[in-house]
Amino acid sequence: MANDDLVLIATADLVGHVRGRAFGADQLADRLEHGVGWVPADLALTTFGELAETNSFGPLGDLRLRPDPSASIVLSSGADGTGIEVMLADMLNLDLSPWACCPRNVLRRAVAALKEEFGLTMVATFEHEFTLLNADASALPRGGPPFSVEALRHFEPFGSRLYAALARAGYEPDTWLAEFGPNQFEITLAPCDALTAADRALLLRELVRDLAKQFDWRASFSPLVTSHGIGNGVHVHFSLRDADGAPVLYDPSQPGQLSAIGGSFAAGVLAHSSAVCALTAPSVISYLRMRPHTWSAGHAFLGLRNREALLRICPTVGTSDIDQQFNLEFRAADATANPWLVLAALVVAGLDGLRKKLPAPTVVDGDPDLWTPGEREAAGVADLPRSLKESLEALTNDEMIGEWLGTELLGAYLAVKEHELAVLDGASAETVCERYTSVY
């Protein structure tokens, strides 16, 4: 970056918005050590910009945002050619110790516990779906046939520029595609360690938004942009590796080829799934997207290559390196969630399964939504929450996840989300979609 370019030091808050403060690039060396000032109550900012009334932070206190130079992206689409580097930061107390409520630190703690207790590391990546708004696709029927050459080409050179920028940033882009919905796209990255994966998820979204502006479009990651539309999900792929870096989820002798370790981890995620959803599908709109038969997540179960499952055992290809390819996909996340908290929730729930040595869940075949409640119960298929209120209740009652978050962070989270519920109380589905689309 040139000395007169700006560097923005940022964090992601409890509603997944990236917020921060900028300074001239010539100050970076000093800022890497001491960061920039930040205010605790910023964590009580809610989805639509107001402060949660009941937050415990109030007007008091000061923090530092200390940037992590490995978590950065350069946005270069200023109208006059100016750029800005966005660098994610840890939220620290003034003595530079971690602040208990920092969501990035919540993930750091979870990853460290997994390593310490079981010698395991999570490798993860997020699939990002989004909709390009204001992009004139009137020449294409319904925004173009899904997955078609025509739809992909119509929006060029957006895709090729995005792909190139991600490659330049070292994010290892995987695939770019025109998704099923009108003007809907998907971009994926290669897997990496959990903290980096969550950092990249946040920064990739800012890159997509910034690039869309160059075209006078707006990119929205809202879980739905219209109430009858196709959902924008954020599926999370993950696997576990041992201390030597060897993959541990694959065991060809087990049902679904899922190892005992993988089975216990998956069982932990399923056991805590309702509370986990409060952190991964954390908005009123999340439950408009997440319904059976929408390929989001219909019920809480482990499925083999089944897109109605909460946890999907993904396919592997060919006959070599199967253990390296083998991974699970968690389908109940969306972009209204904070990616650090998404992965922390999965790790913490999975850890509980490992600690309790839970038996592997049944690998469910078929679509349990077509079964009777009795058949679902017999197959170990549980309901997912059907509203934000239900998932928040589950989070409040989940002692293990609550303890992990800590009283202060849990209190702030519930306050922020209760504010969101109150603001949208009685709103029509269409209004709900409009409101979230305006901010995500």
Beta-bridged to residue 303, according to DSSP, are: 312, 364
- Using the minimum distance from each CB to Mg ion, give the nearer residue, 274 or 286: 286
Residue appearing with tokens 């408009």: 288
d(CA 351, CA 354) in angstroms, rounded, equals 5
| Binding span for Mg ion by CB under 5 A among 104-112, 184-192, 202-210, 378-386 | 184-192
Q: Are 416 and 14 in contact (CB under 8 A)?
A: yes
Draw the binding track, 94-133, toward Mg ion (x: CB under 5 A; -: no contact). ----------------------------------------
Which of 40, 182, 191, 233 lies at the binding interface for ligand GLU (CB under 6 A)? 233
- Amino acid type, 402: G
- Using the minimum distance from each CB to ligand GLU, give the nearer residue, 109 or 289: 289
Contacted by 230, from ligand GLU, Mg ion, none: CB < 5 to 8 Å by type: ligand GLU
CA 17 from centre of chain:
12
| Binding span for ligand GLU by CB under 6 A among 50-58, 75-83, 228-236, 356-364 | 228-236
- Can residue 220 be called a binding residue for ligand GLU (CB under 6 A)? no
Count of chain residues binding ligand GLU (CB under 6 A): 8
Q: Are 239 and 225 in contact (CB under 8 A)?
A: no
In the bound complex, what is the minimum distance in angstroms from residue 294's beta carbon to ligand GLU?
6
- Using the minimum distance from each CB to ligand GLU, give the nearer residue, 289 or 419: 289
Largest CA distance in the chain: 66
In the bound complex, what is the minimum distance in angstroms from residue 246's beta carbon to ligand GLU?
29
Residues 279-318 contacting ligand GLU, CB under 6 A: 289, 295-296, 307
The four Cα atoms 279, 281, 283, 286 give a dihedral, to 10 degrees, of 180
In the bound complex, what is the minimum distance in angstroms from residue 295's beta carbon to ligand GLU?
4
Q: Are 89 and 199 in contact (CB under 8 A)?
A: no
Contacted by 352, from ligand GLU, Mg ion, none: CB < 5 to 8 Å by type: none
d(CA 342, CA 335) in angstroms, rounded, equals 10
| Binding span for Mg ion by CB under 5 A among 29-37, 185-193, 299-307, 411-419 | 185-193
Q: How far apart are the first and last CA of the chain?
A: 28
Burial of 325 (0-12, 13-18, 19+ CB in 10 A): middle
- Can residue 199 be called a binding residue for ligand GLU (CB under 6 A)? no
d(CA 73, CA 171) in angstroms, rounded, equals 10
- 252 phi, psi to nearest 5 deg: -60, -15
Shortest-Cβ-distance residue relative to ligand GLU: 233
- Can residue 85 be called a binding residue for Mg ion (CB under 5 A)? no
Identify the CA nearest to 272 among candidates 335, 202, 201, 361: 361
In the bound complex, what is the minimum distance in angstroms from residue 366's beta carbon to ligand GLU?
17
- Can residue 329 be called a binding residue for Mg ion (CB under 5 A)? no
Q: Are 310 and 301 in contact (CB under 8 A)?
A: yes
Which of 85, 90, 186, 251 lies at the binding interface for Mg ion (CB under 5 A)? 186
Catalog residues that contact Mg ion under the rule CB under 5 A. Answer: 186
Catalog residues that contact ligand GLU under the rule CB under 6 A. Answer: 129, 230-231, 233, 289, 295-296, 307
